[in-house]
Amino acid sequence: MGSWKEWTAKAIKRELQLAGNVWQREFFDHVLRSDESYSEKWNYVRENPVRAGLVPRPEDWKYHGSIHFIR
């Protein structure tokens, strides 16, 4: 996780010409036990750029990605 955060932080800072921290210092694992929980967490992550004031809508975030549910 640490390597991924370092790699993505460098890319984000370079692309957006930012200084300082991109990610929180710590993280925790969370086992997703249901589709509802998974959807809830994905929606929370999608809203992060909006809460940070970077974009007005999640869809406007260049790096928003998508999730495909596999059953």
3-state secondary structure 12-33: HHHHHCCCCCCCCCCCCCCCCC
Its sign, for the CA torsion 14, 28, 45, 38, is positive
Residue 22 has which token pair?
Answer: 């991109």
In this prediction, residues 24-44 reach a mean pLDDT of 73
In this prediction, residues 13-35 reach a mean pLDDT of 78
The model's pTM is 0.49
- Write the pLDDT tens digit of every residue in 55-70: 999 999 988 877 665 5
Q: Which residue has the higher pLDDT, 65 or 28?
A: 65
Which region, left, alpha or beta, applies to residue 30 given φ > 0 means left and ψ of -120 to 50 means alpha?
Answer: beta
Query: What pLDDT score does 35 carry?
Result: 67
Query: What pLDDT score does 27 carry?
Result: 65
Domain ranges of the chain: 1-28, 31-71
